[in-house]
């Protein structure tokens, strides 16, 4: 007889939207996405959740909630989430006050997504690997000896804030300049288009320039967008090579909504790795695509 897995209410908090779902193992049974509804203010989040989830909790008899959230999460507290401007946010305590019988866990979104890949995806049985999620920022984790590397003070593998440019480069929400995520994220790609625009006689109309609009312009071969995407891929490849030099991974797996667009050029990354004789590294897109964080949030309760 097949043992049914328990259904978990999963929440993936992102920079521009919150994805929610009912997840069973690696299958998403229900899904809903909310864009900017809470306006970023941390005090509005718990009332918002309690309003939208009551139906699902009753329908599926939910007893477990898993949450992925950007930033430093220590002992289920959001100590700091720079992109959301959240500090010392006791989200778990707030939710636990509403749902005292519920088992709730909160983890960094990149680590949660990596856990999904380790448990069900392309990092299963991989000893040393890198998992990168491209969104508004850049998250993910290093996998060392089949486990997510957390470091001495639980802040390990925070490579989105690895500096890849010089000290005059783009300002990051963390306060430094030139971080990986200010170039390699979707927001980074948009900024690269804006930078090239600045010197162009035929600029891209900047109104509502987000991921979907960039894809549209790329499909129409807009020269500035094509140039920006080439630069973006080179920035990603250089950064991944730097990570590979430290970790010597066998697998590098990429996830996030932008991986569904076809804009990330795996061959550019492989070529960059080959330059430094990393010929045998597997570089692939995750099958979870934009849902890695959501499945990962549920996997926290496994």
Is residue 28 within the footprint of Zn ion (CB under 5 A)? no
**Binding track, positions 228-267, relative to Zn ion; x by CB under 5 A:** ----------------------------------------
What is the per-residue binding string for Zn ion in 88-127, x denoting contact by CB under 5 A? ----------------------------------------
Q: Which CB atom, from 21 or from 188, has the smaller least distance to Zn ion?
A: 188
Report 275-294 residues binding Zn ion (CB under 5 A).
none
Q: Please state the closest distance from residue 81 (CB atom) to Zn ion, in A.
A: 12
Q: Would you state the structure tokens that stand for residue 61, as one six-digit string?
A: 């008899």
For Zn ion, the closer of residues 176 and 227 by Cβ is 176
Q: How far is CA 130 from CA 182, 226, 248, 252, in A?
A: 19, 27, 9, 5
List binders of Zn ion among 124-183 (CB under 5 A): 161, 172, 174, 176, 179
Q: Is the dihedral of CA 210, 215, 219, 223 positive or negative?
A: positive
Q: Compute how many residues bind Zn ion; rule: CB under 5 A.
A: 5
Calculate the alpha carbon distances from 274 to 131, 204, 284, 290 in Å: 19, 34, 15, 28
Question: Cα–Cα distances in Å, from 273 out to 103, 200, 241?
Answer: 43, 32, 6
Nearest to 109 by CA among 152, 143, 73, 77: 73
Smallest separation (angstroms) from Zn ion to the CB of 161? 4
What is the three-class DSSP state of 137?
coil
Smallest gap from Cβ 155 to Zn ion, in A, equals 13
State the Cα–Cα distance between residues 139 and 161, nearest whole angstrom. Answer: 9
User: Binding residues for Zn ion, per CB under 5 A?
Assistant: 161, 172, 174, 176, 179
């Amino acid at each position: 007889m097949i043992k049914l897995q328990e259904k978990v209410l999963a929440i993936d908090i992102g920079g521009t939207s919150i994805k929610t779902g009912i997840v069973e193992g690696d299958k998403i049974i229900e899904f809903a996405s909310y864009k900017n509804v809470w306006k970023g203010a941390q005090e509005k989040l718990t009332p918002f959740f309690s309003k939208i989830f009551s139906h699902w909790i009753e329908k599926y008899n939910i007893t477990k909630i898993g949450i992925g959230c950007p930033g430093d999460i220590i002992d289920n507290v959001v100590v700091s989430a720079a992109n959301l401007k959240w500090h010392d946010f006791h989200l778990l305590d707030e939710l636990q006050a509403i749902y005292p019988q519920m088992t709730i866990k909160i983890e960094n979104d990149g680590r949660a997504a990596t856990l999904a890949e380790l448990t069900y995806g392309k990092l299963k049985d991989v000893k040393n690997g890198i998992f990168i999620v491209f969104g508004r920022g850049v998250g993910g984790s290093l996998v060392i000896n089949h486990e997510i590397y957390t470091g001495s003070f639980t802040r390990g593998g925070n490579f989105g804030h690895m500096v890849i440019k010089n000290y005059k480069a783009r300002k990051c929400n963390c306060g430094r300049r030139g971080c990986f995520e200010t170039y390699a994220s979707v927001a980074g790609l948009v900024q690269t288009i804006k930078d090239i625009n600045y010197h162009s006689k035929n600029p891209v109309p900047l109104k509502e320039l987000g991921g979907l609009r960039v894809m549209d312009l790329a499909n129409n071969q807009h020269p500035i967008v094509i140039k920006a995407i080439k630069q973006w891929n080179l920035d990603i490849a250089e950064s991944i090579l730097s990570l590979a030099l430290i970790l010597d991974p066998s697998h590098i797996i990429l996830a996030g909504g932008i991986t569904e667009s076809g804009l990330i050029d795996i061959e550019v990354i492989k070529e960059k790795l080959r330059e430094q004789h990393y010929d045998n590294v597997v570089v692939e897109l995750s099958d979870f695509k934009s849902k890695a964080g959501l499945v990962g949030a549920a996997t926290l309760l496994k």
